[in-house]
Amino acid sequence: MIVKKPPMGWNTWNTFGEKINEQIVKESTDAFVELGLKDYGYEYIVIDDCWSERTRDAVTDRIVADHIKFPNGMKAVGDYIHSKGLKFGMYSCTGVRTCADYPGSFDHEYLDAETFAEWGVDFLKYDNCYKPKTADCQLLYHRMGIALENCGRDILYSACNWGTEDVWTWIRSTGAHMYRSTGDIFDSFQSYKDIAMSQVNKFGYSAENCYNDIDMLTVGMNGSGNVGRGGCTDAEYRQQFVLWCMYCAPLMLGCDIRSISAESKALVTNRELIAIDQDEANRPPIWQHHPWNENLKVAFKHLANGEYAIAFYNFSDNDAGIPAMFELFGIPSNSGYKLALTDVFTGEKIGEFKDYINVKVATHDVKLYKAKLVK
């Protein structure tokens, strides 16, 4: 199975945590369709931890769905999601137990992969809790990779070891299509900023068929739900989404899409932003830091069509001008070239600039431009 672009979809964890059930999944699937998210590239509905019974079946040793939360079983849920033209994702773990203390897949990888295939699963998020100290992390992820490749169904493999053990240096060899490189996100400015900045120098390992996953988006949560921690402003959600898109990170929504605001919907369905995230060149940005204010940063990204994307991030607590010296992006004054900039959000052509620009950005906000090299 080849995954040519960063996966896009929705995951239950950020909003619902353990409070998931068949009705919520079906209602969210319906909302996904009503919002037209598939038309923008989103396609996976992923059920995270807490979906199963606390113990495996005593006779078959298989994981079974919680009979109260999912009375019709997981295949019925998958069939419903598929009937809407979407893809079905589920969750398991390398360990003896999952992070929420449900049965993990340790020593059951092939049986569980077979079970997931029988249920019509298209995506598996594979966590890393309750792993015996005697077990090798790399080997366990490789084991599930082999099991999924031989289960009789194409299943996107989403490894989730939180960035431990230098995962970016070896995870591609396990067959994983994406890999969590950070701890869990929470719905706050500090959380998404810390996560994004922790990966500044690590996205060089991310490429087609194995993408650096910096966790589900909190855009639109507004402080509610399982990982709600005060929430973010619309400007902060805009900054978060641009960070993810400039990285070409997987775009997995985490808000309650049944009640997403108009502002958040407009952001996550912005075709210009999504095109940057899904750009086939999949190149990480080059970073330029303010000479004395570490909270003012600029990212410069090569795009497949020969254009560039330039993002100005204000992580400070005040409105500020953010300078960019084109020399540090490989375009010195004596090159004879200028950059023609177009505001991605407004479509406004703001002019041609040589050597240097200073962009005013509101606190905790971002300005994003498409750029062309011109004489």
Which of the residues are catalytic? 127, 184
State the helix-helix crossing angle for 234-247 and 189-198, rounded to 10 degrees. Answer: 20
> Which amino acid does the sequence have at 195?
I
Q: Give the residue among 2, 1, 79, 6 at the shortest CA–CA distance from 281.
A: 6
Q: Calculate the CA dihedral of residues 180, 185, 189, 194 and round it to 10 degrees.
A: -40
What is d(CA 63, CA 70) in angstroms, rounded to the nearest whole number?
Answer: 13
* Residue indicated by tokens 């200073």: 358
Q: Name the 3-class secondary structure at 148.
A: helix
What is d(CA 294, CA 287) in angstroms, rounded to the nearest whole number?
Answer: 12
What is d(CA 352, CA 337) in angstroms, rounded to the nearest whole number?
Answer: 10
What is d(CA 50, CA 16) in angstroms, rounded to the nearest whole number?
Answer: 10
